[in-house]
Amino acid sequence: MNTDPEILVVVAHPDDEVIFGWPVLQDPRVPVEILIASNHNAARPSLMRQGEVAMTLWRKESVRVRCLPYPAMFSEVRSTHGLCVDLLAAIEASAAPTIYTHNPLGEYGHPDHKLVHEVCVQSNKKWVLVSDMCLCRDLTPWRRPSERAKRTWCRNQLGSCILDLAWYDRLRAGYVANDCWTWNHEPVAECGLYYL
């Protein structure tokens, strides 16, 4: 935890870092820190503690986590301008030279994921990494990005990643034990890693 991070993982909601951030986070050799753009979800009472649960889980993994004080549904924020300004300031304050975040498609079109991606690419002093993790609207895996995506963000592939299911299940269990896990689908088990 005392090592300067090499990668800042920036996600929209608590538990997104496990669901979509695994290509970077599951490797314990890479010093990382996590920035989550929200800290709670009012959908059910237990989700009001989501950010607290994330910080506790990752402290056990010796990873620093910071949650911004916004609701997990950005549509509940009066103006997303303040959220974007605060998120960009937190990104710029990080010592990490590289960001890993949601891809331009928001994995399955989630508007909050897309917004976080857009803020991350505004940081001109960071490298930005994304995966090609794409899901259909019904959340079934869709492995191949479109031809347009291949011409834009998919042309700079760094490599392929395979999910360490034991790692995923361990962190998922921590969220489940606190009734704070929001994903009801199988994880995407393989993806490509790209820099923008």
**pLDDT digits over 83-128, tens only?**
999 999 999 999 999 999 999 889 988 999 999 999 999 997 778 9
- Tell me the pTM: 0.90
Is 156 in contact with 194 (CB distance < 8 Å)?
yes
43-84 pLDDT tens trace = 666 667 788 888 988 998 899 999 999 988 888 888 899 999
Nearest alpha carbon to residue 137 among 105, 97, 101: 105
Per-domain boundaries in the chain: 7-195
What is the predicted pLDDT for the residue at 1?
A: 47
Place of tokens 């079109």: 109
Provide the Cα torsion 16, 22, 23, 29; round to 10°: 130
Sign, CA torsion 101/104/108/113: positive
CATH topology of domain 7-195: Rossmann fold (3.40.50)
Quote the distance between the C-alpha of residue 164 and its chain's center: 17
